[in-house]
């Protein structure tokens, strides 16, 4: 974890040199928790979005997940540090990324596993609908990290989204359903979501809250601009 945090700081400083004069970075913090087959699963997400101009942007992502079973032999943490790059217009976006994944067992007798991760992402925008697909080269993941995803999101309003995805985890296919709401009451600087996943061997149900350190932006505009 110390390695990932150090690399995160280096990438942040490096990417900061590329900020465009007329654009501002967007910083997000996400906290979530749920049950993975009756086991507690928590996650912490830190995301720095850096617009370069109206077409190109980059982001630095630190995603940490913690599986708590009450036993050290099968409890572990998984973290990913990644740098992603995007090109977009009013019709959609394309992105590529590279990162480092770290799987650390709570049992000190087991070794920490680190590996390089590659990612390809694509989205198409059509009125209130966003079609999404991505591929990530994970060898092994926790339940809420997918290696492939294909699906669509529909915005009931600019601040309410529902999504359905077909995903694949560790040679297992599953359906994932999401619902997110960003209240206008708090200047649209926070959102809350519910995530449900039904798979062959692993089921997951959880919630996530996100806080945005930026100006007032609708959920639809925020996700199409930064995600």
Give CA 151 to chain center in angstroms: 15
> Where is pLDDT greater, at 190 or 1?
190
Q: Does residue 23 carry a pLDDT above 70?
A: no
Q: Does residue 34 carry a pLDDT above 90?
A: yes
What three-state secondary structure class fits 37? coil
Tokens matching residue 62: 């630190």
Confidence of residue 29 (pLDDT cuts 50, 70, 90): very high
Write down the pLDDT at residue 198. Answer: 87
Write down the pLDDT at residue 131. Answer: 97
Q: What is the pLDDT of residues 2-21, one digit of tens each?
A: 544 454 444 444 444 443 33
Q: Does residue 76 carry a pLDDT above 60?
A: yes
Q: Does residue 142 carry a pLDDT above 60?
A: no
Tokens matching residue 192: 């809350």
Lowest-pLDDT range of 33-37, 103-107, 211-215? 103-107
What three-state secondary structure class fits 135? strand
Write down the pLDDT at residue 195. Answer: 95
SS3 content of the chain, % helix, strand, coil (to 5): 10, 60, 30
Tokens 């490096």 locate to 14
Q: How far apart are CA 135 and CA 94, in angstroms?
A: 12
Confidence of residue 114 (pLDDT cuts 50, 70, 90): confident
For every residue of 54-90, which 3-state class applies, written as one string? CCEEEEEEEEEEEEECCCCCCCEEEEEEEEEEEEEEC
Tokens 């087959």 locate to 37
Above pLDDT 90, what percent of the chain?
Answer: 44
> Where is pLDDT greater, at 117 or 22?
117
Ordered domains of the chain (ranges, CATH): 2-226 (2.40.160.160)
Above pLDDT 70, what percent of the chain?
Answer: 83
> Where is pLDDT greater, at 30 or 103?
30
Q: How far from 196 is each of 124, 164, 203, 204, CA to CA, in Å?
A: 24, 10, 8, 6
Beta bridge partners of 119: 97, 136
Question: Do 132 and 148 form a contact (C-beta atoms < 8 A)?
Answer: no
Q: What is the pLDDT of residues 157-200, one digit of tens each?
A: 999 999 999 988 767 788 999 999 999 877 778 999 999 988 77
Average pLDDT, integer, range 114-132: 93
Average pLDDT, integer, range 57-71: 87
């Amino acid at each position: 974890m110390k390695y990932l945090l150090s690399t995160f700081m280096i990438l942040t400083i490096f990417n900061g040199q590329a900020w465009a004069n007329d654009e501002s970075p967007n910083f997000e913090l996400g906290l979530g928790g749920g049950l993975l087959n009756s086991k507690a699963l928590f996650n912490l997400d830190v995301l720095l979005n850096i617009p370069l101009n109206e077409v190109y942007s980059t982001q630095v992502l630190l995603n940490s997940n913690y599986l708590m079973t009450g036993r050290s032999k099968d409890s572990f943490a998984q973290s990913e540090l990644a740098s992603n790059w995007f090109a977009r217009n009013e019709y959609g976006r394309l992105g590529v990324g590279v990162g480092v994944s770290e799987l650390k067992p709570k049992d000190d007798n087991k070794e920490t596993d680190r590996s390089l991760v590659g990612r390809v992402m694509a989205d198409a925008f059509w009125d209130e609908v966003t079609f999404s697909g991505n591929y990530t080269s994970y060898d092994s993941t926790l339940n809420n990290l997918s290696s492939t995803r294909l699906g669509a999101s529909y915005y009931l309003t600019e601040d309410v989204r529902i999504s359905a995805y077909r995903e694949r985890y560790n040679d297992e296919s599953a359906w994932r359903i999401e619902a997110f709401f960003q209240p206008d009451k708090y200047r649209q600087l926070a959102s809350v979501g519910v995530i449900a996943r039904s798979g062959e061997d692993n089921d997951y149900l959880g919630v996530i809250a996100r806080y945005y350190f930026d100006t007032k932006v609708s959920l639809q505009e925020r996700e199409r601009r930064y995600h």
